[in-house]
Structure 1
Amino acid sequence: MSEAAWIDRRIEPRAPVSDRVRVFYGPNLGSWWDATMRDVSASGLKLEIPALVPLPKALTVLHVPDGQVFIVRAKWRNHDMVGCKINQKHSLETETDPAFAQIKAAWLSLKT
């Protein structure tokens, strides 16, 4: 199919990025893996994370550059790429909920 014939049917525009993230999962978010965010839209994001990492559907993604936390659900996986639907967004700059204390501590150590 030629480039001119390709039609983007996405509901929302995606912004390509190449940002560092840490993906938390499991009981008490005790497991994590560093990954790369490849694109983001208002309702979703795409992560690049090695296929050998077994991920559950529910993930918490820390966007290291700005301290945004995304509560997401993995919708698809194709080798090293994982497409996620964003359910909630939080900013660690203003978040006071103690449930985010562990993630905030990780962010403070990673952002330097």
Structure 2
Amino acid sequence: MAARRNIPYSVLPTEDRDEDNVDRRFTYTPKSLRRILWKSIALAVFLLLLGSTLLFLSYFISMGHMEGDSSQVYGLLFLGILSFLPGYYETRVAYYSWRGAQGYTFASIPDY
């Protein structure tokens, strides 16, 4: 049987929450939503370029334009796909969020 630890705790309030006691985690903070995550965008672009480079290398080796073995082709192809797909997806998300900030939003779609 596990030993019990002496952990102090406080009793939770039993009454309902007042309107003044709002959990700040769920409040809308526009300043934090407008900041641009440059490191994430840089990582996405890096993965996109690395994946594209690896895919081109595997293509050139398989077509005989470069020296290499068939096992290198499959390895570069696997690593290229593994890095290209997340890079492409995240770069596309960053582009569409930037384009949405330029005035194209769901609210601008007309209701018919």
TM above 0.5, one fold? no
Q: TM-score range by the shorter chain?
A: under 0.3
Query: Normalising to structure 1: TM-score of the pair?
Result: 0.23
Query: Which has the larger share of helix?
Result: 2
Give the greater-gyration-radius structure (CA): 2
Query: Which has the larger share of strand?
Result: 1
Query: Normalising to structure 2: TM-score of the pair?
Result: 0.23
